[in-house]
Amino acid sequence: MATMKAGAAARAAGAMLVLALALAGCGGKPEGGKAPGGKEKTEGGKATAKPALTVATTTPQKAKLPVVLAANGNLVAWQEASVGAEVPGLRIEEVRVNVGDSVKQGDVLATFNADAVRADVAQARANVAQAEASAAEAEGNAQRARRLQGTGALSTVETQQLLTGEKTAHAKVLAAQAALQAQEVRLSQTTLRAPDDGIISARGATVGAVVGAGTELFRLIRKGRLEWRAEVTSVELARLAVGTPAKIIAASGAELEGRVRMIGPTVDAQNRNALVYVDVKPVPGPAAGSARAGMFARGEFDLGSVEMVTVPQASVVVREGFSYVFRVGPDNRVSMVKIQAGRMAGDRLEVLAGLPADAAIVANGAGFLNDGDLVRVSNATR
């Protein structure tokens, strides 16, 4: 029994020795013709790295980018007209408009009870008729005095009195006519009319109310025009001029266009900002009501354009808060280059610094690469 166990152990040891010699004869290389580390074996027997990615390359391009100045502000009425009562002590009889209504110059906004004023007009007309009758009588007496002058029928004093009475009578006619005209003006003022085209922005008129002279009854946005009062810092103020175009986006989402009408003459001593007054072009169609006075609005002033170096946005990766591109070297290995990124224009990004103008960079798939990776370059793209 002991002899049998010793023989089995000897056979096992021999088998292990044969396996060790077989492995030593193969050189320890794995099957498939590959070198250690997963590298491919070339025909000459040398190991080469496998490309990490197939990429297309591009070079920076010069493009004209718009130069804009962003600002915030409010939409306000260009001008507001205050429409009030001119005749005191009259009762409002009818109100024909409400807040938000569009009116034309001369449209009736409200009417007052005019019975008392009509009576005054009638009285004034009677006074005119009476004065004209007195003037006709005085004129006839003066004519007789002129015919009898020098005959001794009338004394000099009487003749002078008749001639003076004629002039006085004519003056009373003029005074009565002026009084009649004043009453007719009062009568016309019992109908309150719009002083200009525009939109009613406030209403204080109530039917039945008796108002005094000068009481504001309506407020009117003249021509329906709005303006954007943008706040611009004193440092940026010199970049603007009258006529500079602007694009404005109201809080409602309405997109407006305008031009600088005036630059404020003073700068606020607290925040060092100045107001820039921008005339807003009216919005046609149903969207006209989407921009209203009092809304907050942000916008940009168009300051022209400037030529800058740009790269595709897809070629830029952001890592640890910085922007990078991958530059492809002669050996098809990429190096990560830190750039200073600027503004975006469509699908391109402005490069302020860090990248030579003739550098070949990875156009897409940059997010899958690391510094030093080997790539296979396909057809280049712009």
How far apart (Å, rounded) are the C-alpha atoms in residues 244 and 259?
5
Give the residue from 322, 338, 331, 334 showing the smallest Cα distance to 366: 334
Which domains are delineated in the chain? Answer: 53-65+306-377 (2.40.420.20), 70-79+223-304 (2.40.30.170), 83-110+194-222 (2.40.50.100), 114-189 (1.10.287.470)
**How much is the pLDDT for 217?**
95
Handedness of CA 72, 74, 77, 80 (dihedral sign): negative
How far apart (Å, rounded) are the C-alpha atoms in residues 252 and 93?
38
Cβ(227)–Cβ(75) below 8 Å: yes
Cβ(361)–Cβ(354) below 8 Å: no
Task: Indicate the residue type of 203.
Answer: R
DSSP string, 186-224: HHHTTEEE-SSSEEEEEE---TT-EE-TT-EEEEEEETT
> What is the SS3 assignment for 274?
strand
Per residue of the chain (382 residues), what is the pLDDT tens digit?
Answer: 434 444 444 454 444 443 443 444 434 443 334 443 334 444 444 556 788 888 888 888 888 888 889 999 999 999 999 999 998 999 999 999 999 899 999 999 999 999 999 999 999 999 999 999 999 989 888 888 888 877 777 788 887 888 888 899 999 999 999 999 999 999 999 999 999 999 999 999 999 999 998 899 999 999 888 999 999 999 999 899 999 999 999 988 888 999 999 999 999 999 899 999 999 987 765 555 678 888 999 999 999 888 888 898 888 999 988 999 999 988 889 999 999 888 887 788 888 888 888 888 998 888 888 888 898 888 655 5
DSSP string, 245-263: EEEEEETT--EEEEEEEEE
How far apart (Å, rounded) are the C-alpha atoms in residues 142 and 276?
71
Long-range Cβ pairs for the range 204-208 (8 Å, 24+): 205/92, 205/95, 205/109, 205/110, 206/92, 206/95, 207/92, 207/93, 207/94, 207/95, 208/91, 208/92
How far apart (Å, rounded) are the C-alpha atoms in residues 168 and 178?
15
